[in-house]
């Protein structure tokens, strides 16, 4: 079956954007390509520096989709992404171009390629109760609670991962079922997604190239350099402007993005400003570690050594083979 789309995945700072632009240029003589962002931070408007959003020149060079589509006040779910991405794929393919799915939000890839069962919607009252309890006993104790009801999810979460521990406990309190049971059942919600297309869209006709560095120190160095560049180019001023709106809070999904949460805490005074750089880099490294863990659970991906010497020639050769 002919490949319908190409996916370029990888941890943060692994070189996905540059590689995707090069692939799009390579495909131009054959009709071209358009990029669909698979990134839960790039969907938000006015969050440009801290998300390493493509530059104006990069956006102009190749059409991009699912960037700057949501105000930071409003959340964007994996199910919404799957629906929107499917529409984009269908439109791009209908115009004879290759859809390039590019990003590092692995839950979005999972929602699109495998589907997601409907988990309970957020319950503000239960979430507030969990937060209040955590303020008394601490998140490691809440993690112990999670181990008792959902050991599978607890095993993959750090004891201080407040956001994910809170959501897992919330799901259990609402449904009486562990979060891991929903994640194992991956039936696509047929009420919200184009099922004719989604049933065709799987690893048999979507080829995924995964950029994974052999040397973790190489990735850590790139993460440090990128965070330093963000700070040098006004990242703190960007967060100050978001705070100045007056309607955004640190617990919103947009403000929980890596870097933004740490900058918000530093500006609040709850964290020394001198620690912002190190904590931001550490949080980004932890994100990259989680992304690599997700990727390694995807057996049908093709792995390309991100820190290798021949990344682009190998990637172009791989793309040509998939589209032959």
The pLDDT tens digits for 157-211 are: 888 888 889 999 998 888 888 888 875 544 444 334 444 455 555 545 789 999 9
Residue 143 burial (CB count, 10 A): 21
In angstroms, rounded to a whole number, what is the distance separating the alpha carbons of residues 290 and 292?
5
Q: Which residue has the higher pLDDT, 157 or 242?
A: 242
**Percent of the chain topping pLDDT 70:** 91
pLDDT in tens, 255-298: 999 999 999 999 999 999 999 999 999 999 999 999 999 999 88
- Percent of the chain past pLDDT 90, that is, above it, reads 72
Q: Which residue has the higher pLDDT, 7 or 79?
A: 7
Q: Could you tell me the two tokens for 224?
A: 């440090």
Q: At what angle do helices 216-232 and 276-296 cross, to 10 degrees?
A: 140
Alpha helices in 16-122, H assignment, sequence order:
16-27, 56-61, 78-94, 106-113
* C-alpha to C-alpha distance for 246 and 298, rounded to whole angstroms: 41
Range with lowest mean pLDDT among 59-68, 91-100, 106-115, 230-239:
106-115
Average pLDDT over residues 306-320: 95
Q: Does 78 score more than 90 pLDDT? A: no
Question: For residue 106, what are the CA distances in angstroms to 49, 233, 266, 317, 324?
Answer: 22, 28, 28, 25, 27
Enter the pTM of the model. 0.79
List pLDDT tens digits, range 218-227.
999 999 999 9
Q: Is the pLDDT of residue 3 over 70?
A: no
- Write out the two tokens for 232: 């040098």
Tell me how crowded residue 300 is: count the other CB atoms within 10 A of its CB: 11
pLDDT mean across residues, the chain: 90
Report the DSSP pairing between strands 302-305 and 64-65: unpaired
User: Which domains can be identified in the chain, with CATH numbers?
Assistant: 5-118+186-214+294-323 (3.40.50.300), 124-183 (1.10.20.140), 217-288 (1.10.287.890)
Number of helices followed by number of strands (H, E) in the chain = 15, 6
Task: Render pLDDT for 119-149 as a digit per residue (tens, 0 to 9).
Answer: 777 788 888 889 989 999 999 999 999 999 9
Q: 46's torsion region: left (phi>0), alpha (psi -120 to 50) or beta?
A: left
Burial class (CB in 10 A: 0-12, 13-18, 19+), 282: middle
């Amino acid at each position: 079956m002919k490949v319908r789309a190409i996916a370029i995945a990888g941890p943060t700072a692994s070189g996905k954007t540059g590689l995707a632009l090069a692939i799009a240029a390579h495909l131009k003589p054959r009709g071209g390509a358009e990029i669909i962002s698979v990134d839960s931070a790039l969907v938000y408007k006015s969050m440009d520096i801290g998300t390493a959003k493509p530059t104006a020149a990069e956006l102009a060079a190749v059409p991009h989709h699912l960037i700057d589509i949501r105000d930071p006040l409003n959340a964007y779910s994996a199910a919404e992404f799957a629906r929107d991405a499917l529409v984009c794929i269908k439109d791009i393919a209908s115009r004879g171009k290759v859809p390039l799915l590019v990003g590092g939000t692995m839950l979005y890839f999972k929602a699109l390629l495998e589907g997601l069962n409907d988990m309970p919607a957020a319950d503000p009252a239960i979430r507030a109760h969990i937060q209040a309890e955590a303020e008394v006993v601490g998140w490691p104790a809440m993690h112990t609670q999670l181990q008792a009801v959902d050991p599978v999810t607890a095993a993959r979460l750090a004891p201080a991962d407040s956001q994910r521990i809170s959501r897992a406990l919330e799901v259990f309190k609402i449904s009486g079922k562990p979060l891991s049971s929903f994640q194992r059942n991956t039936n696509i919600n047929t009420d919200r997604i184009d099922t004719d297309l989604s049933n065709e869209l799987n690893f048999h006709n979507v080829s995924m190239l995964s950029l994974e560095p052999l040397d973790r120190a190489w990735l850590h160095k790139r993460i440090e350099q990128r965070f330093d560049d963000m700070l040098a180019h006004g990242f703190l001023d960007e967060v100050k402007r978001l705070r100045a709106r007056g309607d955004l809070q640190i617990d919103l999904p947009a403000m929980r993005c890596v870097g933004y949460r740490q900058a918000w805490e530093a500006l609040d005074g709850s964290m020394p400003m001198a620690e912002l750089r190190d904590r931001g880099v550490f949080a980004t490294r932890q994100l990259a570690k989680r992304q690599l863990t997700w990727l390694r659970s995807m057996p049908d991906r093709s792995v390309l050594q991100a820190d290798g010497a021949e990344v682009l020639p190998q990637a172009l050769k791989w793309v040509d083979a998939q589209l032959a």
